[in-house]
Amino acid sequence: MNFYICGPTASGKSSLAIALANKLDGHIINADAYQVYQGLPILTSCPSADEYTQAPHHLYEFFSISDEFDAAQYRQLALAKIEEFKASGQPLIFVGGSGLYLKFLTHGSSPIPAGDPQLRAQLETQTIEQLQAQLEELDPDSYHNPDFNRYNQRYLIRALEICLMTDKPMSQVKNTWRQQESTINQKLRGIYLDWETPVLNDRIAQRSHIMLEQGAIDEVRASRGLASKTCRKAIGYELIEQLLDGGITKEKCQETLSIRTRQYAKRQRTWFRKETWLKPINMQNTTLEEQVKLAIQAFQI
């Protein structure tokens, strides 16, 4: 059985995962986009050396910081772990805040294609009226949907891209995907850790301070010139580079790091709340033991 613990940064995912792994005799699998990288355990909030000893952990700190990494690669590696432990019957506890990585793992890639620059350039030469007429012909359901803004050129072009690239109406592609998602959702067991915003913001501020005081600056200094584009997208990496170059003070770096992390946490919470298969766990004023009980109830174990 696979279980999923999601939540914004600094929400307590790692400690809950360890407690659950010990309770269920399970293994913890990383589902964070940046904790796969070697050399940045403090900046990316990887489990500590002590935490690694408390339960089996997988897919943490194994990937070279010089290489690019994406959700498709993660899905392949995570599915291999699922296959590896299938015979043992031990539960796998996937833990992370990267919604896209979790989505790729649980649902696969979306059938909606990425944009085609050449096709988009052609469509951009048309007037709004021409785009409207073409979409009404190819996908009348989308065109007449009151929730679709058919006066927005960007929306029209994106809808036409999907129609032309899939050779199907956009409404059909999306409806099929929703039906598939609904079927998959019924089989998934996951939670997201929910905090009141002021409390989570305080936790983020504390974590930002600890990061800078306990080694994140040295990690970035050591990896400069080696880190891939993906790796450098980790929150705080480019900020610390500015600090190292003398562009900002340490105080400004910490303040901005905290702000950007709060903004990221807000996006994470929005993502997880839209995933109806994830059940919220109210973390406010709860002990770790109580959190474990709430998680087990939510997982229906």
127-159 confidence digits (pLDDT tens): 999 999 999 999 999 999 998 998 999 999 999
Residue range 117-174, CATH number:
1.10.20
pLDDT band with cut points at 50, 70 and 90 for residue 231 = very high
Given this structure, which CATH class describes domain 2-110+183-299?
A: alpha beta
Give tens-digit pLDDT for 237-290: 999 999 999 999 999 999 999 999 999 999 999 999 999 999 999 999 999 999
Give tens-digit pLDDT for 167-196: 999 999 888 888 888 899 999 999 999 999
Share of residues in the chain with pLDDT > 70 (%)? 100
Burial class (CB in 10 A: 0-12, 13-18, 19+), 42: buried
Domain boundaries of the chain, sorted by first residue: 2-110+183-299, 117-174
